[in-house]
Structures are given as C-alpha cells and as structure tokens.
Structure 1
C-alpha cells in the first residue's frame, strides 16, 4: 500500500514528528537563543550559532538530550517528503528542517529553532489531514485471519512467511480433507470427489451426498444444490490445481481472493447435510 494512503503508517510518522519536537524542545531548554537579552544577546547573527549552551548546563545531561534529538530525528525524517516541509534557504537551496536540526548549534546556522518547531507543527497538521483522507478513501478490507478456521488453520504459517501460493494449496487440500472425512470417501480423485459429493443422484452405499438443508423441492434449495454441484469442482480445478501446479509466487491480493473462495466453500460444506443410503451403515 502506498505510504500516504496507509493510516497506520501516517499515524506512526506523526507520532515520530511529535516525539522529535518534544526532544528538541527539551534540548533547547539547556540553551539561550542568539538574540535573547543576556550574555549572548545578538552575537553575530547569521554567523555565530543560533543557540548557546547555558553556563550552568550539565555536560552529561546536554549529551543525553542531544542523543535523544538525533535518534528522534532519524525516525521523523520520513515526514518531510510526505508533508512538503522542506525550507528554501537563500544561497543554499532546499533544506530538510528535521534532518538539519543540528545546524542551529553550529557557526553559520542554516536554520533557527523557530523554523524547525514551526515545520514540525505544519508536518503534524498535514499528516493528520492525510490520515483523514486515507481513512475516507480506504477500501473495505477482509483479513485472512477472518477466513473459515479450516482454511486459515492450514494457511497461517505459510501466509505469514510470504508463501502465498503454498498457503492457498494447503488450504485447498484442507477443505478437500473436510469432505473426505465428512463422506468417508478416500477412493477417488479430488475433483471427482466434489462431483460425487454434490451429485444430484440418490446416495448409494459407500457414496453419500452433501445436500443443502431444507425442502429438496423448494426452488431456492434446488438452485443452491445445483450451484454447489458446479462451484465446488470448479474451485478444485481453478484454485487448488492451479496453485499446486503453477510456477512462481502468487501476489498477496490474488492469494487472498482464492482463500476467500475456499473459505466460502468450506462454510457451505459445514452447512450441508449428509444424505446416505438407507443401508450404508454410517451414523
């Protein structure tokens, strides 16, 4: 997903900018601005540093706060291209205020503290706007974890490792195993198994059928059984077989759509009733 369309990512960047701003503010507490009344008031503005360390500052505390700012800046710099907070400085060009924060402590500073703090405020506001836009435009999502437990149980480990094709194959085989266990059939190939399980023929000894629950003469029930008779073998041939025998990795979206079809089929299998011949002996 594109970064500026991912609300979670944008929130993390906004938090990183806020943390950087807080760290910089704490760092500035140990300094006086060049131009403030006092010992360093107005010393060679533009040539001397923009800030000077206070006389009573503990060097170790100063270093701790400097380190904190540096680390926070490293996390926050990704906000600049997202928000356009770069500053144009005459004679220098475009400057990233977060990446170049330390210039305020150096001779001929490129930036003033106020430039950086204002840029942070602008970045946070801009990111909040991007978050609202991303959430408004975000398509509905279905997590793989919400699939039928048989499907996700077989796919989970492979899916999390990025092996999407293998995850689909494992899930398809798990759904077939559901039907084998349900019907007691392990004597025919998988596609034939689906065809016989949903066959419109009466059950025979050793050949039970899966039927959608309800009055078999009802038009909706008849339609559902006819649809399952075509859908289930079709899933086997188009999803399981292509995943098992295909070459190369499946994309995550393609794999998710295949898992969705398998999950739907598994749920329907759960809802079906097992119809057996009178003398089958199965309970």
Structure 2
C-alpha cells in the first residue's frame, strides 16, 4: 500500500493511493497515518478496505508528511563510504547518530526555507524507515519485522551550523522545513529488499546525486537493531538512513550550495518523488 496525508498544514487527513494513482480518503476508517495504524494489525485492516469504496479526493491537494505525530526523527551520518570520502571523513566503525527535530518535518513538495544569513544550505536524498511497533534490544534477524514501511526524506543540512558552529550536528540538521517527508509511506511488503533501491537528486534539472542503498555501510536491519539498543523505538519514529555522494559540500573544486529560487527534485525507487523550491527566510 501507498499511504499518505493530504490537506493544509496541520490539518492533514489520511489517504491511500489507489492503483490508478488517485487519492482516496481514509478519514472514515482511521484518524491518521500514525500510532497503532502503523502496526501489522493496523496495516492489515487497511489492506482489507476496497479502495474503490473510499471517497475520491478531487483537485490537487497539498501532500503533507506521510507520517503523523512523529515521536523521533533519527538521522544516520556518513552511511555511504563514497559520501564519507567526499566529506573528507573516515568510514565510521559504528553508525553516526544525530537528531533532526520534528519541527523540521514538512510535506514532500513544501518550500524549503534557507535560514537567515545561510550560505551553506545543502541537499541529501535519503531512504526513510518508519517504525511500526515498539522495539527494544532486538536482534538484526528480526529487525525488519518492526518496520511499517519506507519513504523519501530530504535531509536538508546547513553545513556552517553543522560543522563550524561548535557542538554536535543537530543544529545544522534541524532548521524548520529541513525534513521533507513523503510523498507516500510505502508498506514494507511492497519493498522486496530495502538494500536494492536507487536514489537520485537534481537541483535545477542538474543531477548531483545518484546512488543505491546496496552501498550503505550499515543496512536498514543493522540500523534498526543498533538504535533499539540505544533507545526504545515507537510506532511513527522515522530513521533517515544516510545519503549517497553528490551533496553540494562535496563538489570540487568549489562547493555549491542552495540559493533562493532553486528547485530540488529527488526520488527513490518505488517511493515516488519530491519537489521543493528553496526560499529565503522572511
């Protein structure tokens, strides 16, 4: 299934994408794409619903973040060896973990706001992993059983605040609008192998990023198991799993960063596409 949320910011309704690519309203069935709806039982209930029996959503509504009431948005850094190389950093021996604040979450096609004074706002296409049921201290062999599904995340990053302003990465990763999520939550049964997905990103129609999740240093199952040893993961928590090479910071000889008015387009195999315009802060 491809689940989504649509409507004005803060008033999103749950929806389902039918086989014809039309949005069907799920608000008469579930309150949101969140909490217990993400469990195996909750998703099984939705699979029993005939999409043709659901109200069709007309027009061209805004698509919101595909998960509601996200508790934790957990980032993984330097998880592709070639990206670590372009960043001039060693390949990590354990996952590099940081936080993106949930206030950074926005819809997949919402504007991305460049922070006031920023000259180093960067892009990162990533595979997002949505947790479906609580897990703590699980082993890698069972880890994917706790995944509800997958989505696209643009891990937008302000490199000066991330790397030059002291402290940890979180500051540069957590500005408002720095986590476009969606367009869909694709349930795990539709993704045969999360380690065989192409990722790509373009800025103003120039392709900068092309990669595949098979080159991750730590795969999805490893990450879920590892993080479950650090914290309890709950339904609706999202893990954004790292980016392949091609970020603006890595362009040689001179890095390239986002400017107001530029457009990012990005996608992951089977998970749809995102389209964002970079805008200045008010």
Q: TM-score range by the shorter chain?
A: under 0.3
Higher helix share: 1
Higher strand residue share = 2
Q: Which has the higher contact order (CA 8 A, sep 6+)?
A: 2
TM-score by length of 2: 0.21
TM-score by length of 1: 0.21
